[in-house]
Amino acid sequence: GFGKGSRGEQIDVGRPIRTTTPDVIYRGPSHNKDEGVCIYLDGMSQHIHGNPQTLAKDRQIRDALRRLGWEVIEIAVNELSDPQAMTRHFRKLARYLENGDLREKLTSDPTWFDATTPPHPESAQPQLEFVDRDQAEPFIHHLPLVPIQAAAGGFSEPQTLPDENWEHWVRVDSTHPLHQGMFVAQVTGHSMEPKIPDGAYCIFSAPVTGTRQGKILLVQLLDNLDPETNQRYTVKQYTSQKTQSPDTPWRHLSITLKPLNPDYPPIHLTTEDEAEVTVIAELVSVLPHRHG
């Protein structure tokens, strides 16, 4: 009775969150494009939304949506097989969509639930598999999960840290051959959207060989902070150009760390030696997963 709704649609809720992607958006006859009902299926995957580690951010996002006039329905994954809970949620949805007939039918005819197959958590999107070190097959099927700050210390040196230093590993089914120096890190922020969504898990490779020009790199800033995250570590597209001041014989290197999202400003650096810019690793790919 509700139709398919809109899936994969991003909503801009403003700074500091920027965007959110509900699992489904429904709109009734009186809703405009920037109005409707956002449905979140909480607990479908460990690192998306509806889990203890995302609780504060979930609340911030949904409060922002409500302030903007959106309705929000939160469905826990364990409620998908509970007819009473789902009836309650769907009656609320029908009320928001101004469909009184469907709202009453949901109560009077419970057979609708028997004909409905709830989405299986693993079928919604590829789900990342996290394992401990003793369960991993390092650089065969698994890569270490490394915090960005730890990557700066572990992969910017000539020798990478031993495998034993990384406690958590991620199973990777990639077309790229795995090798020492590759790792998975979570990238936060919206400056590299749409290529890298906020919260995406990405494969990086270190050290960076050959030209840096045009590559998306994980860089450690020495005298600057990323204006979006206020951190010294940033993932941006790297470009450089040699310049010469008319007042001095010195030639300088102008480096631009460019976001892909035009809403964010680039980071400009000037140095005499490209080697002074600490490039930690190169982006290989973004692992597919849902993000809310």
pLDDT in tens, the chain (292 residues): 787 788 778 788 888 777 788 888 999 999 998 999 999 988 755 445 555 667 788 889 999 999 999 999 999 877 887 888 899 999 999 999 999 999 998 888 877 766 554 444 333 445 678 888 888 999 999 999 888 766 655 555 444 445 656 778 999 987 778 999 999 998 888 899 989 988 888 999 999 988 899 999 999 887 788 888 888 889 999 998 877 666 666 566 889 999 999 989 999 888 876 666 788 999 999 987 644 4
**CA 172 to CA 72: how far, in whole Å?**
34
Q: Boundaries of CATH 2.10.109.10 in the chain?
A: 130-286
Please name the amino acid found at residue 106: L
The predicted pLDDT at position 121 comes to: 38
Query: 130-286 domain in CATH 3.30.70.1520?
Result: no
Please name the amino acid found at residue 83: P
Per residue in 207-262, pLDDT tens? 998 889 999 999 988 778 888 888 888 999 999 887 766 666 656 688 999 999 99
**CA 212 to CA 279: how far, in whole Å?**
9
Order across the sheet with 251-258: list the strands.
182-187, 200-205, 278-286, 216-220, 233-244, 251-258, 267-271
**CA 218 to CA 232: how far, in whole Å?**
10
Q: Residue 144: which of 173, 188, 187, 182 has the closest Cα?
A: 182
**CA 190 to CA 37: how far, in whole Å?**
24
> In terms of C-beta distances under 8 Å and separation of at least 24 residues, what long-range contacts does 238-242 make, across chains too?
238/212, 238/213, 238/214, 238/279, 239/213, 239/214, 240/212, 240/213, 240/274
